[in-house]
Amino acid sequence: MLIMDYLERNARYYGQETALVEFSPTDAHDNAATWREYRLIESAADAPLRREISWQDFDRRANRFANLLLSRGIKRGTKVGILLMNCLEWLPLYFGILKAGCIAVPLNFRYSSDEIKYCLELADVEVLLFGPEFISRMDVIANDLPQVRMLFFVGKNSPAYTEDCLALTAYCSSNPPPIEMKEDDYAAIYFSSGTTGFPKAILHDHRSLLCAADVEQNHHSQSREDVFLCIPPLYHTGAKMHWFGSLKSGSKAVLLRGVKPKWILRTISEEHCSIVWLLVPWAQDLLDAIDSGKVKLEDYELSQWRLMHIGAQPVPPSLIHRWKKVFPHHQYDTNYGLSESIGPGCVHLGVENIHKVGAIGKAGYGWETKIVHPDGTKVERGDVGELIVKGPGVMLCYYKNPEATDEVLKGEWLYTGDMAREDEDGFIYLVDRKKDVIITGGENLYPVQIEDFLRSHDKIKDVAVIGLPDARLGEIAAAIIEIKENETCTEEEINAFCEGLPRYKRPRKIIFEKVPRNPTGKIEKPVLREKYCRGRLVESQITG
């Protein structure tokens, strides 16, 4: 069986029922003209744009794109990139790639032009789909992608160097393409990065995708009556693999293009959503909006909302205690996973274990876990070691990077790089990360990238970037900056300089001080964390 079989089953048995809805708030929608079809759900000036497709239409669109690829001579195993914001086209195109026997390569929509080019070359992408939000970035590199044979545009007014994907697929057959595949065939490449910030290409087979669907549906018991609200980006394994529970159960899902509390609650109310996956900042913003009176719960129909779950970053227990006071009837779960372990679910808390909030949980459905010493032997229960996991969703390898693969894959075990401990009941708690990656609002920041940028400032001698605990975002980036002798510099000057970085990469705190280095020249970040994080952690726990 393959993940596409669920889509074909749903089209066969639930064909006219709604599969996907795109909800796009007007204040988050840059240009309505970029979408081919939409309808206003009401005439109010602030009404969102709403589009939907049935399971039958979903499957037909996937078949048409698969047949378009095949008609152009694209062979099975070809890598096809997806550079799109969340939209109604995203998943049908993804499934079309799989149905053609090709390998789907989703790209982070925050990537700069250089990062897009790097990832396309790293993954040997030959076909790329992109949307209107990326025209300016693609303009820069479109003529410098020798391995990319085809550029398809998803939207209106295609740039001259692209082809109109949606117009072309309209003339393609909607019958399933005659491609035979097996569970151990390659399916997708996702990107991750180490502390250097250079992305690694993570290769998964079709068995991994099936594992994700089985795990998600087992953990959260999706039924045909459930409606899943998906807010995080679909390029990430987390969002898509949570949606696989809806795919397996044949239930509706809603893609919300916006994270404002009023839009989240309105979507839940109007689309009758019963399952919502949030990041920590969104959950906190919702509670803050409720506490301040900016939104009133009585204005919305929320009785059907049964489950809220969180992933992608450590979850403050105080947040969940606060959440349960406002939504006492909600089930709650937290999910732990890596792109290398096909997203969330290799460890999860479980809705029945609310008393263990603060833990990431136990091994997920079909998974095994161990906490080990550097030599791979198990630590004593209660001691700290590295968390390793084993299951059918572990990646095959880092594509074209055997050295990095060997560092994290030891036989069937994936070494996560996360330090953890297990309590007397077998629940796992994360303690620290071996890597220096900063997780802020569910997104990874890579200190070396920010440090390299700051070092280009004329007045900066040295810089170290670390993560500081933050009640809302989990962590924020702090830059410890050493100024050159006889120079003076202000925080305002540094902040103005950092406008050259994407907003999410800009340091939230600037500290002027000498940067400590050890005798081998390495920055002593543990020293900096000990100095600056301890007081900040107490402060974040109090304010959280």
In sequence order, the 6+-apart residues with CB closer than 8 A to the CB of 187 are 3, 98, 103, 104, 204, 205, 206, 208, 209
Predicted local confidence at residue 447, as pLDDT: 79
Q: What number of other Cβ atoms are within 10 A of residue 421's Cβ? A: 19
DSSP 513: S
Q: Which residues of 436-470 are buried (b: 16+ CB within 10 A; e: fewer)?
A: bbbbbbbbbbbbebbbebbeebeebebbbbbbbbb
> By the 8 A CB rule, do 23 and 255 touch?
yes
> By the 8 A CB rule, do 166 and 36 touch?
yes
Length of the chain: 544
Cα–Cα distance for residue pair 109/117, rounded to 1 Å: 13
> By the 8 A CB rule, do 254 and 273 touch?
yes
Kind of pairing between the strands at 343-348 and 362-363: antiparallel
Tens digit of each residue's pLDDT, the chain (544 residues): 999 999 999 999 999 999 999 998 765 444 433 333 333 333 334 445 899 999 999 999 999 999 999 999 999 999 999 999 999 999 999 999 999 999 999 999 888 899 999 999 999 999 999 999 999 999 999 999 999 999 999 998 999 999 999 999 999 999 999 999 999 999 999 998 543 457 899 999 999 999 999 999 999 999 999 999 999 899 988 889 999 999 999 999 999 998 899 999 999 999 999 999 998 778 888 998 999 899 999 999 999 999 999 876 667 787 888 899 999 999 999 999 999 999 888 999 999 999 998 899 999 999 999 999 999 999 999 998 899 999 999 999 999 999 999 999 999 999 998 888 999 999 998 876 666 778 888 777 877 778 878 988 989 888 999 999 988 888 999 999 999 878 899 999 999 999 999 888 899 999 999 988 754 446 788 788 888 886 554 444 433 4
3-state secondary structure string, 258-276? CCCHHHHHHHHHHHCCCEE
**Residue 20: exposure state from Cβ atoms within 10 A (0-12, 13-18, ≥19):** buried
Q: What number of other Cβ atoms are within 10 A of residue 41's Cβ? A: 13
> By the 8 A CB rule, do 541 and 318 touch?
yes
Q: Which of 339, 341, 98 is nearest to 199 (CA)?
A: 339
By three-state DSSP, how is residue 67 classified?
helix
**Residue 33: exposure state from Cβ atoms within 10 A (0-12, 13-18, ≥19):** exposed
> By the 8 A CB rule, do 333 and 357 touch?
no
> By the 8 A CB rule, do 505 and 477 touch?
yes
- What domains are there in the chain, each with its CATH number? 3-258 (3.40.50.12780), 307-433 (2.30.38.10), 438-543 (3.30.300.30)
Q: Which residues of 50-62 are buried (b: 16+ CB within 10 A; e: fewer)?
A: bbbbbbbbbbbbb
Backbone angles phi, psi at 12, to 5 degrees: -75, -45
What the block records as the tokens of 379 is 């630590």
DSSP 357: B
pTM equals 0.82
> Is the dihedral angle over the CA atoms 493, 495, 499, 502 positive or is it negative?
positive
What the block records as the tokens of 21 is 């809805």
∠ CA 473-476-481, rounded to 5°: 170
CA distances from 353 to 133, 332, 358, 425, 447 (A): 42, 9, 11, 11, 35
